[in-house]
Structure 1
Amino acid sequence: MDARPVSDARRRELAAFLRSRRERLTPASVGLAEGFRRRTPGLRREEVALLAGVGTTWYTWLEQGRDVRPSPEVLSALADALKLDVAERRHLYLLNDREPPSLRPSGAEAVPAPLLRMLDSMTGQPAYVLGRRWDVLAWNRAAAVVFGDYGRRHGDERNVMHMVFADPAHRRLLIDWHLLAPAALAMFRAASVHYAGDPDFERLIAKLKSASAEFEQWWPRHEVQGPFAGRKRIDHPKAKRMHFEYTSLAVADQPDMRLVAYMPLDEERTAAKLERLLNRAA
């Protein structure tokens, strides 16, 4: 089947999207003079073209659904001119068959309130939320009784990579550390590419190289790996062996935040052991 109708439909959708974003703006909202009375709402096409630094005729072709192919730089300029938010920018890029730019947040990270309530409701599943640097931002009671009270950890101590490579007590928890540690490092490396050169990342990496011979040896290998689900065997100081299946889920509207949840397995009567640990903690 000819793919042409799909392409035509996408260009029509792009044209309508651009017109709708243009018509919602006023000259004052983008720093332009009102000028004479306007026959149509919003900005004129030539005003959008001026703001984006493109030709009026070329922009008009876009709104007419013609077969023109904006570069990523031009799409960025159009997004700025039309004051698009993050979701609208992504939509604009996808309509043009372009990979949306990675817009990474900075500053303090805040876990959304609905996610905090979800954590609290997961009474029989250890779970925590990781931030962009794999710091544990929030956790539930089940996670605290299995992995230790994260509230007693401060700064880098609450970072997953620090716990895996630089915390002997946490390392003893992980029966299969020799398998989990290199996989965790590869996933961390893949996730941290968006923050290459970031001072907080660089400081943590330097600290881990100094604290762990394995980290120092493996980091230069540049192994990368995407998030995946798997099994984790724990040697708990009180409950002894516990088996979990874990998965990592992306958080909506938070590109670098993930929910990690552990499901108790039948092996080693893990669910019963977890319940006893929770009762003792209570």
Structure 2
Amino acid sequence: MDQRAELSEFLRSRRARLKPEDVGLPDFGRHRRVPGLRREELAQLAGVSVAYYTRLEQGNGRNVSTEVLDAIARALQLSDAESDHLTHLAKPTPKKRRAARPQRLRAGIQQLMDAMEGVPAYVVGRRTDILGGNRLARALLGDFLSLPAAERNTARLIFLDPNSKDLYVDWDIKACEVVSYLRLDAGLFPDDPLLSSLVGELSVKSDEFRGLWAAHHVKDKGHGTKRLQHPLVGELTLSYETLRLPDDLEQCLVTFHAEPGSPSQESLRLLASWGTDAEVRTPRG
């Protein structure tokens, strides 16, 4: 991916979402040809010259200091994930070319997931590739391990498998999150040809992906709640946790659990009792 273009588009998109009143600047009612802060307003807030900021927004991040990037991040009110993304775009390092190496799931992690009875669990790596999972995760989300290796990818399933919109009650939120994860990877691994190929394919085949990709949202994986509409047990509300694996920080273990005593917990138990029968009948999502 073109790192200069990525930096330029990211800064413009973050500047466009702010209004003068959002950052404590007066708005004198002057007509604005484009939404958001002007370059000179952002430069004023960051304490840099307009010419300096303009060069950066044009994709020229050479020799920019960490202090200046931090000041611009504060002025743009970036989240921690967005601030890190800005740094990766402006100051790329050679180590990020590691993305070309194969991803492998350690056998011990698969054994751990298999031992987690009653807890759906799977591991996701770079590019949202699904590297492994236990039986209950496949019963809940679809038997992703039955797919060819190249298709075991969350983004592909969300945007190219029509069943995903039936499975995720809040599909729009899930879709935005997945694209945000890919954006983060694009900043970390700009030379990953498989990531570029995936983004290109999804941009061609999905209008929804193309629109979300252009928005430059960035978010890291974390924790929260998901609502699923399962074809066998109905709607479930599940909490999820994302844990980075200590020996490979590019891999994350994702687990789901239901509130104790809730209908969702009972539905999850029922799904677990059906085992492989549920896997076969679940749509891929």
**For the Cα contact (< 8 Å) 1:163–1:170, is it kept in 2?**
yes
Alignment of 1:80-229 (within 5 A): 104=98, 106-229=100-223
AA aligned to 2:200 is A
Distance 1:257 1:131, change over 3 A: same
* Structure 2 unaligned spans of 5+: 1-92, 277-285
CA separation in 2, counterparts of 1:130 and 1:247?
Answer: 12
The SS at the match of 1:255 is strand
Match of 1:281 among 271, 275, 279: 275
Which structure has the bigger radius of gyration?
A: 1
The SS at the match of 1:243 is strand
1:156 deviates by 3.9
Task: Give CA-to-partner distance per residue, 1:25-47, whole Å, 9 cap, x none.
Answer: xxxxxxxxxxxxxxxxxxxxxxx
Q: Partner of 2:28 in structure 1?
A: none
AA aligned to 2:240 is Y
The SS at the match of 1:215 is helix
% identical aligned pairs: 29
Alignment of 1:35-74 (within 5 A): none
CA separation in 1, counterparts of 2:180 and 2:161?
Answer: 19
Q: Partner of 1:269 in structure 2?
A: 263
**For the Cα contact (< 8 Å) 2:164–2:171, is it kept in 1?**
no
CA separation in 2, counterparts of 1:155 and 1:166?
Answer: 16
In angstroms, what is the RMSD of aligned CA positions? 2.2
**For the Cα contact (< 8 Å) 1:242–1:267, is it kept in 2?**
no
Structure of greater relative contact order (alpha carbons < 8 Å, 6+ residues apart): 2
Q: Partner of 1:56 in structure 2?
A: none
The SS at the match of 2:104 is coil
1:266 deviates by 4.8
1:175 deviates by 0.1
1:270 deviates by 1.5
- Stretch moving more, 158-167 or 262-271: 262-271
CA separation in 1, counterparts of 2:167 and 2:141?
Answer: 8
1:134 deviates by 1.4
**For the Cα contact (< 8 Å) 1:242–1:268, is it kept in 2?**
no
Distance 1:129 1:211, change over 3 A: same
AA aligned to 1:143 is A
The SS at the match of 1:104 is helix
Q: Partner of 1:239 in structure 2?
A: 233
AA aligned to 1:151 is L
Task: Give CA-to-partner distance per residue, 1:67-90, whole Å, 9 cap, x none.
Answer: xxxxxxxxxxxxxxxxxxxxxxxx
**For the Cα contact (< 8 Å) 1:232–1:243, is it kept in 2?**
yes
Q: Partner of 1:78 in structure 2?
A: none
Distance 1:251 1:103, change over 3 A: farther
- Stretch moving more, 222-231 or 106-115: 106-115
CA separation in 2, counterparts of 1:246 and 1:213?
Answer: 28
Aligned residues: 184
Matched, 1:230 2:231: no
Matched, 1:251 2:245: yes
Distance 1:106 1:100, change over 3 A: closer
The SS at the match of 1:238 is coil
Structure 1 segments (4+ residues) deviating >2 Å: 99-108, 265-268
Distance 1:102 1:207, change over 3 A: closer
CA separation in 2, counterparts of 1:213 and 1:198?
Answer: 23
TM-score (norm 1): 0.60
Distance 1:150 1:134, change over 3 A: same
Distance 1:213 1:125, change over 3 A: same
